[in-house]
């Protein structure tokens, strides 16, 4: 089978600033272009370090060139009204009466407004349009991107808040307003991504650094399984609660333990009777995954892509067997991907139970990888994969 042309797996370009401002004008009539804002906020792929962020561990995500864009004109009426350009649907809320979550996409905007106001950050009303090239519920953090784009759209003085702080406020929106007890990784990556690099974040100290990716020797290919990320808040929150309870049990013998971040394999071994086999497996994933993040950064620093690939595959096995958040579809995609010559390694990425895998592949083999999943995956899963060769891009910001 001939491989697909390279262009086929590049993401679609998002609408330009002018196109978005044109759409805004068609919807709201005349507005002052000088005070309008156009924000972009990217999705993310996590290279490695899964389910470690809320255990105060290490993550290595990168922001991707699939993104959300919001064009807005400020208003003085303290209301926020946003139209989705894909469906034409408009949703609104009042900044002074945000109310409870509605189980609707506007919750991510309203929750962000709530969180910023709780932190004393002055907001302004807005009329806005929103466009996205980031598929929702795919594990590529469309919700974090929507939160970050909303935060900078609504802040009266956006220059007064730095990216890391904004990421934390958006995480709070998701934790306390939307009700998902996520860690900081997604919001951090969408806010702080660096072009050509992954970002290594220590989720305890919040120290971070860019880790350049050798893009001339390796492409990053994302494959969507076609099954949306069904890890609803409850399954995710349950994993998190299990990890926190395990840390409390281990801390009875080792008072210095504050989170699974502090637990060694020897401590786990000692406590495994008390924890039970399932919880012990969950802990083993987190402990070994933190070590794999460090090993991946070292392998990238010395340019050893075969080692990076092996670590990705080990991470997948650990998520599948120990943390148990993979799915038959994701496992099939990883198997297909890793059998293609030129693929260094692949793993599920994000929370799991559906969504996407990420593969690290020699640039000249990326099309063959796309062709292999399109050929072999539908028969194994009954689903159509979607394939993108993504690029690591800068975090959220204005479109000049």
- Residues designated catalytic: 186
From candidates 182, 218, 257, 311, binder to ligand GLA by CB under 6 A:
182
Q: Which of 52, 235, 61 is nearest to 140 (CA)?
A: 61
Q: Which of 351, 366, 393, 396 binds ligand GLA (CB under 6 A)?
A: 351
The size of the interface with ligand GLA (CB under 6 A), counted in residues, is 11
Kindly calculate the radius of gyration of the chain based on its CA atoms and give it in whole angstroms. 21
- Stretch of residues binding ligand GLA (CB under 6 A), selected from 30-38, 46-54, 95-103, 263-271: 46-54
The verdict on 107 binding ligand GLA (CB under 6 A) reads no
Q: Which stretch binds ligand GLA (CB under 6 A): 23-31, 43-51, 296-304, 376-384?
A: 43-51
CA torsion through residues 150, 190, 230, 340, sign: positive
Query: For residue 201, which of 63, 43, 357 has the smallest C-alpha distance?
Result: 63
Identify which of residues 285 and 374 has a Cβ nearer to ligand GLA in the complex. Answer: 285
Nearer to ligand GLA, 351 or 360 (CB): 351
CB 55 within 8 A of CB 261: yes
Nearer to ligand GLA, 142 or 153 (CB): 142
Q: How far is the CB of 8 from ligand GLA (least distance, A)?
A: 27
Candidates 39, 53, 73, 200: give the one binding ligand GLA (CB under 6 A): 53
Kindly report the three-state secondary structure assignment for every residue of the chain.
CCCCCHHHHCCCCCCCHHHHHHHHHHHHCCCCCCCCEEEEEEEEEEEECCCCHHHCCEEEEEEEEEEEEEEEEEECCCEEEEEECCCCCEEEEECCECCCCCCCCHHHHHHHHHHHHHCCCCECEEEEEEEECCCCCCCCCHHHHHHHHHHHHHECCHHHCCHHHHHHHHHHHHHHHHCCCCCCHHHHHHHHCECCEEEEEECCCCCEEEEECCCCCCEEEEEECCCCCCCCHHHHHHHHHHHHHHHHHHHHHCCCCCCHHHCCHHHHHHHHHHHCHHHHHHHHHHHHHHHHHHHHHHHHHCCCHHHHHHHHHHHHHHHHHCCCCCCHHHHHHHHHHHCCCCEEEEEEECCCCCCEEEEEECHHHHHHHHHHHHHHHHHHHCCCCEEEEECECCCCEECC
CB closer to ligand GLA out of 145 and 360: 145
Is residue 297 a contact residue for ligand GLA (CB under 6 A)? no
CB of 183 to ligand GLA, least distance (A): 3
Distance in Å, CB of 51 to ligand GLA, minimum = 5
CB of 348 to ligand GLA, least distance (A): 10
Using CB under 6 A as the binding rule, whether residue 289 contacts ligand GLA is answered as no
Should residue 185 be labelled a site residue for ligand GLA when binding is judged by CB under 6 A? yes
Residue 309, both tokens: 């690939």
Q: Which of 43, 50, 151, 211 binds ligand GLA (CB under 6 A)?
A: 50
Which range touches ligand GLA (CB under 6 A), out of 179-187, 294-302, 332-340, 373-381? 179-187
Based on CB atoms, which residue is closest to ligand GLA, 289 or 329? 289
Candidates 47-55, 117-125, 267-275, 375-383; binding stretch for ligand GLA (CB under 6 A): 47-55
Q: Which residue is nearest to ligand GLA, using beta carbons?
A: 182
Please identify, using beta-carbon distances, which residue of 8 and 208 lies nearer to ligand GLA: 208
Cα 246 to Cα 121, 262, 263, 323: the distances in Å are 37, 12, 10, 13
Q: Least Å distance between CB 371 and ligand GLA?
A: 29
Q: Which stretch binds ligand GLA (CB under 6 A): 80-88, 112-120, 183-191, 382-390?
A: 183-191
Nearer to ligand GLA, 85 or 192 (CB): 192
- CB nearer to ligand GLA: pick between 200 and 372: 200
Binding span for ligand GLA by CB under 6 A among 48-56, 124-132, 277-285, 302-310 = 48-56
Chain residues that interact with ligand GLA, rule: CB under 6 A: 46, 50-51, 53-54, 182-183, 185-186, 350-351
């Amino acid at each position: 089978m001939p491989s697909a042309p390279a262009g086929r797996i590049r993401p679609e370009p998002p609408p330009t600033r002018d196109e978005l401002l044109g759409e805004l004008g068609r919807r709201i009539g005349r507005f002052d272009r000088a005070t309008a804002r156009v924000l972009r906020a990217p999705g993310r792929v996590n290279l490695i370090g899964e389910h470690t962020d809320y255990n105060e561990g290490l993550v290595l995500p990168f922001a991707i060139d699939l993104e959300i864009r919001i064009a807005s004109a400020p208003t003085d009426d303290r209301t926020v009204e946003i139209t989705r350009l894909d469906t034409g649907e408009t949703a609104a809320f009042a900044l002074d009466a945000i109310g409870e979550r509605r189980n609707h996409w506007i919750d991510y905007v309203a929750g962000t407004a709530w969180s910023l106001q709780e932190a004393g950050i002055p907001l302004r009303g807005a009329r806005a349009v929103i466009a996205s090239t980031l598929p929702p519920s795919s594990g590529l953090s469309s919700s974090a991107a929507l939160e970050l784009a909303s935060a900078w759209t609504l802040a009266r003085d956006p220059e007064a808040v730095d990216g890391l702080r904004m990421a934390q406020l958006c995480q709070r929106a998701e934790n306390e307003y939307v009700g998902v007890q996520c860690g900081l990784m997604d919001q951090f990556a969408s806010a702080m991504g660096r072009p050509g690099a992954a970002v290594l974040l220590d989720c305890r100290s919040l120290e971070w650094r860019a880790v350049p990716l050798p893009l001339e020797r390796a492409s990053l290919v994302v494959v969507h399984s076609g099954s949306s990320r069904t890890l609803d808040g409850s399954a995710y929150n349950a994993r998190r609660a299990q990890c926190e309870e395990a840390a409390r049990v281990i801390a009875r013998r080792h008072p210095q333990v504050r989170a699974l971040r502090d637990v060694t394999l020897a401590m786990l071994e000692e406590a495994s009777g008390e924890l039970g086999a399932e919880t012990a497996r969950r802990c083993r994933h987190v402990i070994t995954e933190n070590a794999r993040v460090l090993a991946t950064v070292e392998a990238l620093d010395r340019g050893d892509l075969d080692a990076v690939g092996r670590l990705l595959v080990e991470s997948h096995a650990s998520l599948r067997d120990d943390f148990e958040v993979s799915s038959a579809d994701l496992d099939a995609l990883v198997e297909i991907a890793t059998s293609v010559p030129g693929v260094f390694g692949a793993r599920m990425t994000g929370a799991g139970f559906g969504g996407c895998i990420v593969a690290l592949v020699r640039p000249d083999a990326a099309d063959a990888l796309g062709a292999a999943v399109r050929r072999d995956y539908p028969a194994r899963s009954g689903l159509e994969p979607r394939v993108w060769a993504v690029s690591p891009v800068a975090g959220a910001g204005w479109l000049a």
